[in-house]
Amino acid sequence: MKKIFKALKFSSTFLLVMAVFIACDKDFNTIESDVLGKDNANFNTDNLNLQILAYNKKLDSLQINGLSSNLFGVFNDPAYGQTTASIITQITPNVFNPNFGDNPAIDSVVLKIPYFNKVSADSPDDNGNEVYTIKDSLYGGSPIKLTVYRNNYFLRDFNPNSEFNETQNYFSNASSTTNSALDGSSVINFENHKSDIIYELEQYVPSSKTIVLKTTEGDQDVFDRQTPALRVHLDKDYWKTIIFDKEDDPVLSNANNFKDYFRGLYFKAEAIDGKGNMTFFNLGTANITIYYSKDSSIDGNRDQDTYTLNITGNRLNTFINDYSITLSNGDKTLGDERLYLKGAEGSMAVIDLFNGMVDSDNNGSKDMPALDYFKKTYRQLDENGDYLPKINGNFPLKKLINEAQLVIYEDETASNGGNSDYHKYDRIYAYDIKNNIPTIDYSFDPTENPSDPFNSKIINLGQRITDDNGVSKYKIRLTEHLNNILLKDSTNTKLGLILSTNVNLTNSFKILESEDEVTQIPSTTLLTPRGTILYGNHQNVPENKKLRLEIFFTEPNL
């Protein structure tokens, strides 16, 4: 028999090194050896594959306000179809009760929305200047139509129907054909609340080019280099009427008055010939800056000044889905053949690790709950078949779990648009759907990388692996999750699987009036338009592609 030599007691450092090695390797390496000999070995090793239940959960009416960043544009997923994301946001002046001085005159008005970027591998350029890339946050490259409207719908801070002054949440309505949202009691169609066109661009594609601004100080030209952003000039006369002509008006005296007066902006995205692009808007640092001059205290001179409207306050994404496939809730009894993981308002999978009854004595009759069978297989039992009492708070075990992984295969028949690397950077995120928190293995994973989400949490949430035959799979580490069940009798909670492009984000957002076990969804799935299709564990799935729980254990010869 093949032996995998694992000591029963390791230092914590060595355990961590081994965990990293196992998680990062393509598969477990088996070392064949007869050094000890069968009669001299004091332990045996093997692996146990357990079939589990996995089914789809269609996601509707997801909380869309309070996101850390916002998607904007049009994305065509080759397997799912089209998603369009637009944004509604409030704006807030940086100064209230402004004094614009004597004879103020607006020189220019600039809207600036930074893109998420990083320094390119080609940086610096021949002149020693930084070069940036936005490819990690840009999906597609075809132009879209961008229109910025003044929004006349008031985004409330608090829910008037709540007894406890709860925050007003807004929820997606992606099955609609217009940009709309739900507030818990009604549908808000933002097309019915748009007014003035603030800005319009018929052919918009985000650019990674550095923004270079030139000013003159005396006889010298001064250049200000800024990171990539949407930076455009707005109509000066419009903002004179909206802001400067209201200098002594109460609408500029405080935030509440202003937000009721100017209720915000509506950034609308529209496809061109069915194509488009989608990117992240970093609205947390976005603003509208009014550059103006006024009379100086020195006769004949003019002073330069600015007035800024920050894009802060309530903001939300709207989604419109035009899918080529129909998403629906899955079979909670038999499981599903395919698992559909789609971002924005899409779909997720639910995993029940120990579902139903099993045949505990191989007599052809399912006579024991799967969870009880798992515990009795691994815990030490007395002569009556009952668990031995706890020692120092833990049940004694007869089999020690070294590694446990959920192994999930990608559906190779799903469309990738002709790009074999289309899913190369996909990550799958697992979470506890009862408590809406990450798994304990996620918390124990020390490989967090804030600046590079693709290479973050790679022990718990393994990266996509493709073998020489083109078969792709994912591994989700659940070692501590299972050990907690065995040792401490912790609850066997169901797990949710979502597609993520940033596994560092762990906060959860609500689902409006959810009627089943999934009540919240990790925000990270709202921040990706992408999707993938995986194999489930239904009986029709080929055995070598079925989703499975794989456990590697040590069984001491006592």
Reported as a single tens digit per residue, the pLDDT across 93-129 is 999 999 999 999 999 999 999 999 999 888 888 888 8
The per-type count for the chain, helices as H runs and strands as E runs, is: 6, 36
The reported pLDDT for the residue numbered 558 is 58
> CA-to-CA distance for 514 and 511, rounded, in angstroms?
6
DSSP 323-387: ESS------TTT--SEEEEETTTTEEEEEETT-SEE-SSSSS---EEHHHHHHHHHB-B-TTSPB
| pLDDT > 80? residue 217 | no
Judged against a pLDDT cut of 60, whether residue 456 lies above it is answered with yes
Taking residues 156-181, what's their average pLDDT? 93
**Is residue 285 very low, low, confident or very high in pLDDT (cuts 50, 70, 90)?**
very high
Phi, psi of 154 (to 5 degrees): -85, 120
Q: What mean pLDDT do residues 525-542 have?
A: 96
**pLDDT at res. 221:** 83
- Band (pLDDT 50/70/90 cuts) for residue 18 is very low
Output the pLDDT for position 220.
Answer: 83
The residue-averaged pLDDT of 14-40 equals 39
pLDDT at 298: 84
- Reported as type and span, the H/E element at residue 22 is helix 12-24
Distance between CA atoms of 417 and 298, rounded to whole angstroms?
66
Give yes or no for residue 25 having a pLDDT over 80. no
Which two tokens mark 169? 């949440």
* CA–CA distance, 558 with 556 (Å, rounded to integer): 6
Residue 75 has pLDDT above 70, yes or no: yes
Q: Is the pLDDT of residue 81 over 50?
A: yes
Handedness of CA 222, 226, 228, 234 (dihedral sign): negative
> For residue 13, is pLDDT > 60?
no
Tokens of 105: 């005159």
CA quadruple 234, 235, 237, 241: dihedral, nearest 10: -60
Mean of pLDDT values over 470-492: 96
pLDDT at 537: 93
pLDDT computed for residue 255 by the predictor: 96
Quote the tokens at residue 70.
């916002």
Asked whether the beta carbons of 477 and 426 are under 8 A apart, the reply is no
Confidence of residue 53 (pLDDT cuts 50, 70, 90): very high
**Candidate from 38-47, 60-69, 201-210 with smallest mean pLDDT:** 38-47
* pLDDT average, residue stretch 451-460: 95
What pLDDT, on a 0 to 100 scale, did the predictor assign at position 35?
Answer: 35
Q: Which of 16-30, 254-268, 416-430, 467-481 has the lowest mean pLDDT?
A: 16-30
pLDDT of 34 over the 90 cut:
no
Task: For residue 63, give Cα distances in angstroms to 159, 327, 508.
Answer: 14, 19, 9
Cα angle 99-101-102, degrees, rounded to a multiple of 5:
145
Q: Percentage of the chain surpassing pLDDT 90?
A: 80
Q: 45: pLDDT confidence band, cut at 50, 70 and 90? A: low
DSSP β-bridge partners for residue 57: 348
Write out pLDDT tens, residues 515-531.
Answer: 899 999 999 999 999 99
pLDDT-derived band at 534 (thresholds 50, 70, 90) equals very high
Is the pLDDT confidence value at 24 over 60? Answer: no
Overall average pLDDT of the 267-290 stretch: 97
Q: What is the pLDDT of residue 556?
A: 74
Mean pLDDT within 483-493: 95
User: Which tokens belong to 6?
Assistant: 């694992």
Q: What is the mean pLDDT of the chain?
A: 90
Q: Could you tell me the pLDDT band of residue 46, with boundaries at 50, 70 and 90?
A: low
pLDDT at 333: 94
Cα 54 from Cα 547, distance rounded (Å): 8
Domain ranges of the chain: 50-59+326-353+394-556, 81-322
The pLDDT value given to residue 127:
83
Q: Supply the Cα-derived Rg of the chain in whole angstroms.
A: 29
Residue 131: the pLDDT is 92
Percent of the chain with pLDDT over 70: 91
Residue 38 banded pLDDT, cuts 50, 70, 90: very low
pLDDT band with cut points at 50, 70 and 90 for residue 215: confident
Whole-number pLDDT of residue 286: 97
* 169 phi, psi to nearest 5 deg: -105, 150
pLDDT over 70 (residue 21): no
Residue 137 has which token pair? 């946050």
Instruction: Output DSSP code: residue 219.
Output: T
- Give 520's contacts (C-beta < 8 A, 6+ positions apart): 436, 508, 509, 510, 511
Question: What pLDDT score does 48 carry?
Answer: 65
Q: What is the DSSP letter of 431?
A: E
Global pTM reads 0.89
Smallest Cα–Cα separation from 315: which of 84, 91, 85? 91
